[in-house]
Amino acid sequence: MSMAIDSPHLARAQTLLAAIRTTGLIGLALIAILASLSDVIARAPADRAGYGSELQSPSMLYPFGTDCLGRDMLSETLHGLAATASDAVLAMIVTLIAGGLSGFVLARLPFGTGYVPRGIAGVLGSVPALLLAILAVGILGRDFAPYAAGLAAAPLAFARAFDRARALGESPHAEYARASGIPVSTLLRRDLAYEFRDQFIAVAARALAAVTITLSTMSFLGFSAHRDLGLVIAAERSSYLAAWWTAAFPALALLVLVLFARLAATLEEGERP
């Protein structure tokens, strides 16, 4: 009876999660299109001062208004979104390789030696990613901010991948496969295939949300050389109170990007990205 009762609830929950993930993926696809066409859609080049009158409020002529230097905020938001998205994708790839893939492979090291990097990742994961990214920028330079953000998000991704890999390696079917003489390398390839099929979208979207937040905060604080949304927002500090639109629209674009990434990852409430 309980199984019959739980089954409809489980089906509805799975349908809801699928709808949430689909919404997030569609949103990310639309953002990718906007970012790739930013140079075509934007009316003004990036950081073009004097395009319009200073501090014009949103209107038909300037939908996002202008800032204190006469820059068209719609164009600035589009260019900033393109820079943020491209840097975030690069950082996400770094996280997936240095975190997810490495954790999954090192979990199979013999004699439990993989627990050494797992412990290091656990310690680093307890440190705010922003601080790790700033430290990495101090070592690598501001031009390497995307790599720094990717490395800063890697410890948590490593820990999650390591724990999933260990759970798979200690499962009954894995023990039976080893007892049957199946090589460890074959089991690793099979588990990687299952991991890619079942977890790749969630892991990639989770990493994208995390590195986007870190990158934008770094840019806002001046630790990045790229004019992304964080730097666009920071550049309008003097106009926040007099002209709300100069920061509101870039901040909204950043919020939407992170929101869609979190939806694609179907994160539970309170879960860290």
Q: pLDDT digit string (tens) for 109-167?
A: 877 888 999 999 999 999 999 999 999 999 999 999 999 999 999 999 999 989 988 88
Instruction: Please compute the mean of the pLDDT values over residues 188-202 and round it to a whole number.
Output: 73
Closest by Cα among 152, 36, 173, 166 to 99: 152
User: Which pLDDT does position 270 carry in this prediction?
Assistant: 43
pTM: 0.87
Say if 272 falls within a structural domain. Answer: no
Give Cα separations from 51 to 35, 229, 236 (angstroms): 21, 19, 16
User: Which pLDDT does position 175 carry in this prediction?
Assistant: 64
Largest CA distance in the chain: 76
Share of the chain above pLDDT 70, in %: 85
Output the six-digit token pair for 104.
């999954």
Is the predicted pLDDT of residue 172 greater than 80, yes or no?
no
User: Which pLDDT does position 151 carry in this prediction?
Assistant: 96
- CATH code, domain carrying 25: 1.10.3720.10
Residue 192, classed as helix, strand or coil, is: helix
Instruction: Please compute the mean of the pLDDT values over residues 28-53 and round it to a whole number.
Output: 93
Say if 169 falls within a structural domain. Answer: yes
Instruction: Please compute the mean of the pLDDT values over residues 234-262 and round it to a whole number.
Output: 92
- Where residue 3 falls among pLDDT bands split at 50, 70, 90? very low
Is the predicted pLDDT of residue 176 greater than 70, yes or no?
no
Instruction: Please compute the mean of the pLDDT values over residues 94-114 and round it to a whole number.
Output: 88
User: Which pLDDT does position 196 carry in this prediction?
Assistant: 67
Give Cα separations from 223 to 55, 65, 140, 154, 256 (angstroms): 27, 27, 11, 19, 23
Cβ within 8 Å of residue 270, ≥6 positions away? none
Would you say 251 and 265 are in contact if contact means Cβ atoms under 8 Å apart?
no
Would you say 95 and 150 are in contact if contact means Cβ atoms under 8 Å apart?
yes
- Where residue 9 falls among pLDDT bands split at 50, 70, 90? confident
Instruction: Please compute the mean of the pLDDT values over residues 218-222 and round it to a whole number.
Output: 94
Instruction: Please compute the mean of the pLDDT values over residues 182-192 and round it to a whole number.
Output: 67
Is the predicted pLDDT of residue 226 greater than 70, yes or no?
yes
Domain count for the chain, please give it.
1
Instruction: Please compute the mean of the pLDDT values over residues 41-69 and round it to a whole number.
Output: 92
Say if 215 falls within a structural domain. Answer: yes
Say if 271 falls within a structural domain. Answer: no
Say if 195 falls within a structural domain. Answer: yes
Within the chain, where are the H helices?
2-36, 38-41, 73-95, 102-106, 115-125, 129-140, 145-169, 172-179, 184-221, 229-235, 245-265
Mean pLDDT of the chain: 87
Say if 270 falls within a structural domain. Answer: no
Instruction: Please compute the mean of the pLDDT values over residues 55-73 and round it to a whole number.
Output: 93
Instruction: Please compute the mean of the pLDDT values over residues 72-77 and round it to a whole number.
Output: 95
Say if 273 falls within a structural domain. Answer: no
User: Which pLDDT does position 225 carry in this prediction?
Assistant: 84
Say if 29 falls within a structural domain. Answer: yes
Would you say 125 and 272 are in contact if contact means Cβ atoms under 8 Å apart?
no
Q: Determine the structural domain holding residue 156 and report its residue range.
A: 2-265
